[in-house]
């Protein structure tokens, strides 16, 4: 996959299951935590050591950008990463534009870091990333004193001039977004005074947990207005030794594969089950999935467990809209699970999926329908009438739209179709899950030609 990801031609993918999937695997490190480990390590004074870092293209883009701004980041032969930070306020102006590839997380969080350093930075990205809106981040950062020049529509390429005299703000998030929240908190690290973010709906809280672990002064309070997170600026971060838990967004694919391929039983070890990230497991349990969590423990301030799922037919439900922030990246694979359920699954409140790596509502609806599923697209979601556990027709070539999660979702769908499902281009999978194919092969899924 890593080699394929750098070819100029699309790499089609088909996956087949000739019998039940079975086995125990460990998925790569959590992408959100991997990004933040590198960023906070780069702002600490001293050496941060990271084990289990996700070595996908998105995270490597973050590492390259931080190196370009003065941090010393190296990897040993054993996969351990060493980050020698420059201290809060110590980032240097890069000599060239920073290529973010396909990574929205890298882009938005680094914008927060750079916004309160007196440096000028240009960020570029691939075709998919260059269509994603950045205004939701530039708006609060502009209030803090940064200035931005963007492509039409507020997109990349983007040049920002960081604030020499940044201003603390109190910012109420207009949409539930951990990336926007984190960007403002990161900007607040190098801003005198207290910067506050208010979120009406709780989003993944890795930034808060890790900032506190690195020694930042945070105050978190639940108020009538929402959850208020306040950071005291001009912080001094302490280096850490970290172990990154397995990414629940990556674990979702082999777990749903086990659910839809008859007779399967799969265990994924060391999966992060942070309550702001475990929405997929909760929704699948509501639908009747046979899921067990064992060996529950804490790793680096994050709760992890070994998760086992057994094949079975789900029952369609109306998915509670308030679960969306805790599983925003897992909806494409939930749509696949719902396509095999008994009855109707209704999913609403998902407008955010239209501005991810692709319009995930439209792209998933089109691909599911092409494979024989019964889907109604709504402005803010989907209605899926499941097959009751029966295989879908398949036989289609589906467009992944340069979206890694779409590509993996349809590869999994093809495991229970009468005719092969072809994903038009598997290259984007390397951005988040470079070991996807080897791990699926270990469980018994075969790659077709």
Question: In the CATH hierarchy, which fold is given to the domain comprising 4-29+245-448?
Answer: UDP-n-acetylglucosamine1-carboxyvinyl-transferase; Chain (3.65.10)
Whether 385 is catalytic is: no
Tokens in use for 188? 């607040």
Distance CA 273, CA 212 (A): 19
CA distances (Å), origin 98, targets 68, 139, 415: 8, 21, 39
Q: pLDDT truncated to tens, each residue of the chain (449 aa)?
A: 443 445 579 999 999 999 999 999 999 999 999 999 999 999 999 999 999 999 999 999 999 999 999 999 999 988 899 999 999 999 999 999 999 999 999 999 999 999 999 999 999 999 989 998 899 999 999 999 999 999 999 999 999 999 999 999 999 999 889 999 999 999 999 999 999 999 998 899 999 999 999 999 999 999 999 999 999 999 999 999 999 999 999 999 999 999 999 999 999 999 999 999 999 999 999 999 999 999 999 876 789 999 999 999 999 999 999 999 899 999 999 999 999 999 999 999 999 899 888 899 999 999 999 999 999 999 999 999 999 999 999 999 999 999 999 999 999 999 999 999 999 999 999 999 999 999 999 999 999 86
Paired with 271 in beta bridges are: 246, 305
Binding site, annotated residues for phosphoenolpyruvate:
31, 104, 132, 179, 360, 405
Catalytic residue (one of 329, 385, 403, 425) = 329
Domain ranges of the chain: 4-29+245-448, 31-242
Predicted pLDDT of residue 449? 65
Tell me the residue length of the chain.
449
Residue 14 DSSP SS3: strand
31-242 and 4-29+245-448 share a CATH fold: yes
Predicted pLDDT of residue 176? 87
Architecture per CATH, 31-242: Alpha-beta prism (3.65)
Predicted pLDDT of residue 253? 98
Binding site, annotated residues:
31-32, 36, 104, 132, 177, 179, 329, 356, 360, 405
CA dihedral 129, 134, 138, 139 (to 10 degrees): -170
Binding site, annotated residues for 3-phosphoshikimate:
31-32, 36, 177, 179, 329, 356
Distance CA 310, CA 261 (A): 9
| First-residue to last-residue Cα distance in the chain | 15
Predicted pLDDT of residue 86? 97
- What would the DSSP string read from start to end of 288-318? T-EEEEEEEEEETTEEEEEEEEE----B--E
């Amino acid at each position: 996959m890593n080699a394929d990801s750098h070819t100029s031609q699309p790499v089609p993918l088909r996956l087949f299951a000739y019998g039940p999937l079975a086995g125990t695997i460990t998925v790569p490190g959590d992408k959100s935590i991997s990004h933040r480990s590198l960023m906070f390590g780069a702002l600490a004074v001293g050496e941060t050591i990271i084990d289990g870092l996700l070595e996908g293209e998105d995270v490597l883009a973050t590492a390259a950008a931080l190196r370009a701004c003065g941090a010393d980041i190296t990897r040993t032969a054993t996969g351990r990463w060493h980050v020698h930070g420059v201290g809060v306020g110590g980032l240097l102006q890069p000599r060239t534009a920073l290529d973010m590839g396909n990574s929205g997380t890298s882009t938005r969080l680094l914008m927060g870091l750079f916004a309160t350093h007196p440096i000028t930075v240009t960020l570029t990205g691939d075709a998919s990333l260059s269509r994603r809106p950045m205004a939701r981040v530039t708006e609060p950062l502009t209030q803090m004193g940064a200035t931005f020049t963007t492509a039409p529509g507020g997109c990349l390429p983007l040049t920002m001039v960081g604030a020499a005299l940044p201003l603390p703000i109190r910012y109420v998030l207009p949409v539930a977004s951990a990336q926007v929240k984190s960007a403002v908190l990161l900007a607040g690290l190098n801003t005198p005074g207290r910067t506050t973010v208010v979120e009406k709906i709780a989003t993944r809280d890795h930034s808060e947990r890790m900032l506190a672990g690195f020694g930042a002064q945070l105050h978190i309070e639940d108020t009538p207005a929402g959850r208020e997170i306040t950071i005291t600026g001009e912080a001094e971060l302490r280096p850490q030794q970290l172990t990154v838990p397995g990414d629940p967004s990556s674990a979702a694919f082999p777990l749903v594969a086990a659910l839809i391929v008859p007779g399967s039983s799969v265990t994924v070890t060391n999966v992060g089950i942070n309550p702001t990230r475990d929405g997929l497991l909760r929704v699948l349990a509501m639908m009747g999935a046979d899921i067990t969590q064992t060996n529950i423990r804490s790793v680096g301030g994050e709760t992890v467990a070994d998760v086992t799922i057994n094949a079975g037919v789900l029952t369609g439900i109306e998915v509670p809209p308030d679960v969306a922030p805790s599983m925003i990246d897992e909806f494409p694979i939930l749509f696949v699970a719902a396509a095999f359920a008994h009855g109707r699954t209704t999913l609403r409140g998902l407008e955010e999926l239209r501005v991810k790596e692709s319009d995930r509502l439209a792209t998933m609806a089109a691909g599911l329908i092409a494979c024989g599923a019964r889907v109604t697209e709504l402005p803010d979601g989907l209605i899926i009438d499941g097959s009751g556990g029966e295989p879908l027709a398949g036989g289609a070539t589906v467009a992944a739209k340069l979206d890694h999660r779409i590509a993996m979702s349809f590869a999994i769908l093809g495991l229970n179709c009468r005719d092969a499902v072809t994903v038009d281009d598997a290259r984007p999978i390397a951005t988040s899950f470079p070991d996807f194919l080897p791990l699926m092969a270990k469980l018994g899924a075969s790659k077709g030609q």
